[in-house]
Amino acid sequence: MKNAATITWIILIVLTITSALLSRIESKYIVFIILILSALKFFGVAFQFMEIKKAHVFWKTIIISFIFLFGVGLLIAL
């Protein structure tokens, strides 16, 4: 279990550095890429460190629905 947490932590650090480096690029699609990386980080934190993977299906559905609706809302707003 400790190895899974360490691997997830390293992946989160890599995704954060990637997001920071990508933020300097001027493109109209970079916002979407950073949002996708942020969603992946959210899933990593929620399912590994908040232990949603062991939670009831209701909570898993709520987490996934939140990210989906948040992403759709942001895309509509842009």
Domain spans of the chain? 2-77
d(CA 68, CA 72): 6
Which ranges of 23-56 would DSSP assign to H, the alpha helix? Answer: 30-44
Max mean pLDDT range (15-19, 28-32, 35-39, 45-49)? 15-19
Residue 35 · residue 67 · CB < 8 Å: no
Read off the amino acid at residue 72.
Answer: V
Per residue in 42-51, pLDDT (tens digit) is: 999 998 998 8
The predicted pLDDT at position 9 comes to: 92
